Structure 1
């Protein structure tokens, strides 16, 4: 089968690549474009390790075809920091030890950012619900939830 030309925007930058018709967005990000921050955990959309946003909507990139990125705005973990300055979520995850092995961390951070963009003042229950699609085997969820809550508070103060 012939590859399809895809023009998209990733982390605010225009990107073009060739994709096999059946290849996933995850495969294109990692193997074609070298954006390896997005991780593959399960390949079935159950773990959230491959979470990215497509046109502002949180998705599991293992379930999205690469060709569906045509004309879309994609945000990955690589675009979360602003130059050398970490995003408040990234900083709080480090400060509060809300990560260990790192497989789930990019997806959790992207999911948390998507949550806070829609709801900048979530309750603990809303944070837990917002991150329910992300599985973590190392840290447990308490440190993650606390880090998201702290980052949300800090982000509200700087607005």
Structure 2
């Protein structure tokens, strides 16, 4: 197409370049262009948060952001949380604390939790509930999501303490 723009985005630590239409949404580029289907499409209006990704470490809802707006930046999807075959603490927390049921909201919730823990490794229940307040879960009642994030924070702190000993 004549109207395409070249973008280059570091996705989960890997440089990715593509020709995209300027109006292509980031969520569609991730899912259709890169095959990263962990980022879900729920509402297309930023209401549910199923499309949450981290852009330069900050949670954004990719269903109302154009792919060209992420050009030159670093993006993390749920697929990028795992490093070298090892689950991220937030992924372990969701597993251990049963932080999911149907799983549709889980990628966005995990990324919100991971971002929170970067700034606050020991969040209170209130802190976690505030951090996830922009994302919807229709299954869990949120309590186990809160417990999962706190579990992850404790695990991260424990690993840091062990590394310093």
Q: TM-score, normalised by structure 1?
A: 0.96
Runs (5+) with no aligned partner, structure 1: none
Match for residue 88 of structure 2? 87
Aligned residues: 159
Structure 2 CA distance for aligned equivalents of residues 124 and 138 of structure 1: 19
CA RMSD of superposed structures (Å): 1.0
1:83 Cα deviation after fit: 2.7
Structure 2 CA distance for aligned equivalents of residues 119 and 110 of structure 1: 14
* Local SS of the residue matching 2:156: helix
Match for residue 109 of structure 1? 110
* Local SS of the residue matching 1:158: helix
Match for residue 28 of structure 1? 29
1:74 aligns to 2:51 (yes or no): no
- Deviant stretches of 4+, over 6 Å: none
Runs (5+) with no aligned partner, structure 2: 161-165
1:48 Cα deviation after fit: 0.8
